[in-house]
Each structure stands twice: as structure tokens, then as C-alpha cells.
């Protein structure tokens, strides 16, 4: 329905803000790119420049944190300003009018959207498709392909807190869904460690 669609749009924007910010942090920590490289990006470069101007000589970790905090704040502020502008233009008399507007009311400004597309393209090339990341992804995929049938064949291998769900499973399909949910909640590192403990690989 329209309300669910609006909720999904807001969640998608929140994800954009969170993931772009976290992925810039994570990529720097992993050494996939440098501060100098992301300073070539729109929104990011000005944030680092502002921190340099306010606190010259800041240590590297704090420098990165303060700059990317500004990137996060700029994205949030842009959504608030743009959404407020759209609401003022609509001047709705009720929440139903907002739901039936036929367009998202909560959104980035066109200018911010263009900047985010450039940041996303950079992250896609330098992080999501980086050779070390792809190698880990392939390894984790193989691990999941080993863990799923092992847990399905012997659900007692699941942690104790999952045993009640297993006991209530009415058939193999429900059991497979429980196993899938458990594996889906694993981080890559935890999946690799679990596989090592179970299979020694």
C-alpha cells in the first residue's frame, strides 16, 4: 500500500546515508583507498577541507572521524531541508494527502543526489568490486554452501537459543528457513570462523 511504500522510501534514504558513510570509513580502514583519493569526491573533499581549516594538524583517526561526520550531517541536513521544502510546496491538509501525493516527499535534493551518485560509483569500483573484497566474498559464498547442508542435516549444531525454533519446525522446509535465517545473521568473519571450527578449513 501507499503507506508501506512511503516507509520503504524513507528506509532506502536512511540506508543510503548510513551505508555511504560506513563504507567510506570501512574502505579507509581496510586500505582500499586513501584520504587523498576520497578528497577528490564531491561532498567528501569539502568536509575534509573544513576540518583542516578548523583544526589543522589533527591526528589521522580524529581527522577522518570529524570529516566523515560532516559528510553524514550534510546528507541528513539535505534530506530535512528538501523534504521541508516539498511539504511547504504541497501544503497538505492531512497525512492522507501526503500519502497520495504520487511522489516521495522525503528525498535528497537533486544536487545532493548527483553528488551521491559519484560517491557510489567510486565505492562500487574501489570497494564493492575490489579484488580483496571479491576474493573474500567468493570464499564466504563457498563457506555458506558448506554450512547450510551441515546445519540442515544436523540442527543440533545450531546454538542453543535456536533449538526451540528447530523443535517447532513442522517440516524440512521450515527447518531450512530457520537454518537460512541463522546463516543470514552471520558476519563474514563469523561464518569463516564457524566453518573453520566445524570443518577445519
Provide the grid cell at 36: 587523498
Dihedral angle, C-alpha 187, 124, 68, 111, nearest 10 °: -140
Provide the grid cell at 142: 563457498
Q: Give whole-number Cα distances, 138 to 47, 86, 129, 130, 197, in Å.
A: 35, 44, 12, 12, 19
pLDDT digits (tens, 9 = 90+) for 55-110: 999 999 999 999 999 999 999 999 999 999 999 998 988 888 877 777 788 899 99
pTM over 0.85: no
- By CB atoms closer than 10 A (0-12, 13-18, 19+), residue 179 is buried
For 171-183, what is the mean pLDDT?
95
pLDDT digits (tens, 9 = 90+) for 9-45: 888 999 999 999 999 999 999 999 999 999 999 999 9
Do residues 67 and 44 lie in contact, with contact meaning Cβ atoms separated by under 8 Å?
Answer: yes
Amino acid at each position: 500500500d501507499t503507506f508501506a511504500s512511503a516507509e520503504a522510501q524513507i528506509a532506502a534514504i536512511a540506508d543510503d546515508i548510513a551505508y555511504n558513510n560506513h563504507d567510506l570509513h570501512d574502505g579507509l580502514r581496510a586500505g582500499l583507498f586513501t584520504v587523498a583519493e576520497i578528497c577528490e569526491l564531491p561532498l567528501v573533499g569539502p568536509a575534509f577541507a573544513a576540518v583542516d581549516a578548523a583544526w589543522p594538524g589533527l591526528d589521522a583517526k580524529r581527522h577522518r572521524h570529524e570529516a566523515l561526520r560532516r559528510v553524514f550531517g550534510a546528507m541528513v541536513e539535505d534530506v530535512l531541508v528538501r523534504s521541508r521544502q516539498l511539504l511547504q510546496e504541497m501544503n497538505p491538509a492531512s497525512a492522507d494527502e501526503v500519502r497520495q501525493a504520487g511522489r516521495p516527499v522525503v528525498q535528497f535534493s537533486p544536487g545532493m543526489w548527483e553528488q551521491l551518485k559519484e560517491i557510489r560509483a567510486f565505492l562500487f569500483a574501489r570497494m564493492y568490486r575490489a579484488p580483496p573484497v571479491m576474493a573474500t566474498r567468493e570464499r564466504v559464498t563457498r563457506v555458506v554452501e558448506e554450512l547450510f547442508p551441515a546445519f540442515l542435516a544436523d540442527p543440533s549444531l545450531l546454538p542453543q537459543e535456536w533449538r526451540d525454533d528447530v523443535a517447532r519446525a513442522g517440516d524440512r522446509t521450515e527447518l531450512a528457513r530457520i537454518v537460512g535465517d541463522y546463516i543470514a545473521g552471520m558476519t563474514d568473519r563469523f561464518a569463516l570462523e564457524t566453518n573453520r571450527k566445524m570443518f577445519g578449513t
